[in-house]
C-alpha cells in the first residue's frame, strides 16, 4: 500500500540488468540490493526513477524531439493519422478527445499498440486489431519509434524480473503465460503551455491528464527536461511532484501488477498539470501482460497476505478494451 511518501526514490538498475538472465542472479549481492530497493519503492510509493537502464540518452532525447516536431505540424497534417475505432484505436487525438473519469484532458497524443493480426484472439482481440498509424513527417518517425519500443520492452522485462524476486517469486513469474508475449502500449503526449491551453492562464483547471492509474504491469515515462508536471498522490492525499531527472525513466506499476501482487503493491494515482508556459512532451511506454493472460494473485503473494485472496481474476485484454472504449471521444 502507498504511504505518505514525500519524494520518489531513484534506483540504479544496472546491477540487476548485468545479471538479469544469469540462472544464479538471485545470489548476486548487487541484484539483491536492487531487488530490496524495488520492493520498498513499490510498497511505499508505486513509483520510482530507474537509472542505469542502458538506453542511450541521445535516443531518449531524440524520441522527445521528433515527437515535438510532429505536434508542431498543422492540425490538417496531424489529422491524416486520426484515431478511430476502425483503426484499432491507434493514431492521433486532438486536444480534449481523451477523457479521464468523464473530463476531457488538455493534451494531444498519438496512441500506438502492439499490432494484433485479424482473428488472433477472436472476439477478445477484435476491438484492438489493426496496424499503427505512423506519420510520414517527420522523416524516420516510424523507424525511430519501433527501435525505441524494442529497447523499452527489454528494459521493462528486466525490471519485471527484479520485481518478481521482490515479491518472493522466481525471476520468470511475469513471463510464460503471464507475460512471455507481453503486450505493449505507447502514448506520445503533448501538453500545451499553461498560458495557451484555453486561451487563459488558469493552469490549475487545465488538467493535462486527470488523476488515474495505469492498466498493465509497468510504465516507463520519458518526459521533457526542465518542466515539472507529473504529480503522484500519496496516502495522505498530497500531490508529490515527479520532476524530470536526466538519464532516468519515471517508472510506476499498473492495475495488473496490483492484482498479481494481491495488493502488496499499489497502482498509485497520478496526474499531469503543466503550469509552465512551455509546451511539454511526454512519451509513456506501458509494458503489459500477454493480451489474453488470465491475471490472478500469485500464490506467493496470497501466502504473504495471510492466505486471503483479495482480487478476482481479470483478463488483461478485457480490462484494456473496457478502458479504451470509455476513454476516447471519436
- Which residues, 6 or more positions from 21, have their beta carbon under 8 angstroms from its beta carbon? none
Backbone dihedral region for residue 15 (phi beyond 0: left; psi -120 to 50: alpha; all else: beta): alpha
pLDDT digits (tens, 9 = 90+) for 13-35: 999 999 999 999 999 999 999 99
pLDDT digits (tens, 9 = 90+) for 188-233: 999 998 864 454 444 444 566 778 899 999 999 999 999 999 999 9
Pick the closest to residue 151 from 106, 184, 118, 116 (CA basis). 184
Q: What is each CA distance from 73 to 33, 45, 84, 232, in whole angstroms?
A: 46, 38, 20, 31
Residue 328: pLDDT band by 50, 70, 90 thresholds?
low
pLDDT digits (tens, 9 = 90+) for 40-54: 999 999 999 999 999
Count of other CB atoms within 10 angstroms of residue 144: 17
* Burial of 237: CB neighbours in 10 Å, binned 0-12, 13-18, 19+: exposed
Report all structural domains of the chain as residue ranges with CATH numbers, in order of start.
Answer: 10-327 (2.60.120.330)
Count of other CB atoms within 10 angstroms of residue 74: 7
Question: What per-residue confidence (pLDDT) applies to 211?
Answer: 80
Amino acid at each position: 500500500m502507498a504511504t505518505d511518501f514525500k519524494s520518489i526514490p531513484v534506483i540504479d538498475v544496472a546491477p540487476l540488468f548485468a545479471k538479469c538472465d544469469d540462472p544464479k542472479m538471485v545470489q548476486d549481492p548487487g541484484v539483491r540490493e536492487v531487488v530490496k530497493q524495488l520492493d520498498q519503492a513499490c510498497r511505499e510509493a508505486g513509483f520510482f526513477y530507474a537509472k542505469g537502464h542502458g538506453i542511450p540518452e541521445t535516443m531518449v532525447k531524440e524520441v522527445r524531439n521528433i515527437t515535438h516536431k510532429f505536434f508542431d505540424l498543422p492540425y490538417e497534417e496531424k489529422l491524416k493519422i486520426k484515431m478511430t475505432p476502425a483503426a484499432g484505436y491507434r493514431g492521433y487525438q486532438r486536444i480534449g478527445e481523451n477523457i479521464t473519469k468523464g473530463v476531457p484532458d488538455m493534451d494531444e497524443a498519438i496512441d500506438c499498440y502492439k499490432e494484433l493480426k485479424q482473428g488472433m484472439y477472436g472476439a477478445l482481440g477484435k476491438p484492438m486489431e489493426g496496424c499503427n498509424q505512423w506519420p510520414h513527417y517527420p522523416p524516420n518517425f516510424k523507424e525511430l519509434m519501433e527501435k525505441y519500443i524494442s529497447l523499452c520492452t527489454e528494459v521493462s522485462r528486466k525490471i519485471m524480473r527484479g520485481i518478481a524476486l521482490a515479491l518472493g517469486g522466481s525471476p520468470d513469474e511475469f513471463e510464460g503465460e503471464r507475460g512471455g508475449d507481453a503486450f505493449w502500449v505507447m502514448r506520445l503526449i503533448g501538453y500545451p503551455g499553461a498560458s495557451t491551453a484555453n486561451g487563459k492562464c488558469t493552469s490549475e483547471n487545465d488538467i493535462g491528464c486527470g488523476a488515474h492509474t495505469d492498466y498493465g504491469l509497468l510504465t516507463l515515462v520519458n518526459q521533457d527536461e526542465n518542466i515539472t508536471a507529473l504529480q503522484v498522490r500519496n496516502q495522505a492525499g498530497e500531490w508529490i511532484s515527479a520532476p524530470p531527472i536526466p538519464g532516468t525513466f519515471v517508472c510506476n506499476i499498473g492495475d495488473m501488477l496490483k492484482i498479481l501482487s494481491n495488493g502488496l503493491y499499489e497502482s498509485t494515482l497520478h496526474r499531469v498539470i503543466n503550469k509552465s508556459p512551455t509546451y511539454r512532451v511526454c512519451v509513456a511506454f506501458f509494458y503489459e501482460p500477454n493480451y489474453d493472460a488470465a491475471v490472478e494473485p500469485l500464490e506467493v503473494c496470497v501466502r504473504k497476505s495471510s492466505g486471503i485472496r483479495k482480487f478476482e481474476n481479470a483478463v488483461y485484454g478485457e480490462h484494456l478494451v473496457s478502458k479504451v472504449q470509455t476513454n476516447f471521444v471519436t
